[in-house]
Amino acid sequence: AMNACAFSGLWQLVLALLEEMNLKKLPKSVSTYGSVLTTCASAKQWQLAFATLRQMDAQLVVPDTACYSAVITALENRWDDAVQLLREMSTEAVEVDEICFNSAISACCSCMQWPKAMALTLQMEDSLCAANGIIWGTVASAMAPEDREALAERLR
């Protein structure tokens, strides 16, 4: 039922089902939480996604890469929280994949934090995730024209 609601984007119903599971003390898996987090991210409900991720800790359910990825995606205008979650993933030994990096870089760019986006892009390259032209273009678009020119000059 939860997956069907999640697929349909019914985030309020997905959260109600999770609450019902909590009240009945039913066990919840990583995939249960993953459905909730993905639905919250799709609905742009970053506060609920973030709170649900923290609820996983309280329930002793270890979030996986997909769980973190969904929350980072939901944090599209909260670059500092997105970067913090990337750090947390490393601390918790959870694999940081290309989607996590891309979402955090996009959050930085949407908030005009291009130096941080550039640092994450370089970190992405160091971690063997290839940053593609789209990511580099996203970073460049967040830069002021004079900064783009200076970077282009340095890369020549």
The pLDDT, as a whole number, for residue 139 is 73
d(CA 138, CA 112): 11
The pLDDT, as a whole number, for residue 12 is 85
Per-residue pLDDT tens for 12-54? Answer: 888 888 999 989 999 999 999 999 999 999 888 999 999 999 9
Q: What is the pTM of this model?
A: 0.82
The pLDDT, as a whole number, for residue 24 is 94
Nearest-5° Cα angle at 93, 91 to 96: 95
Place of tokens 């970067």: 83
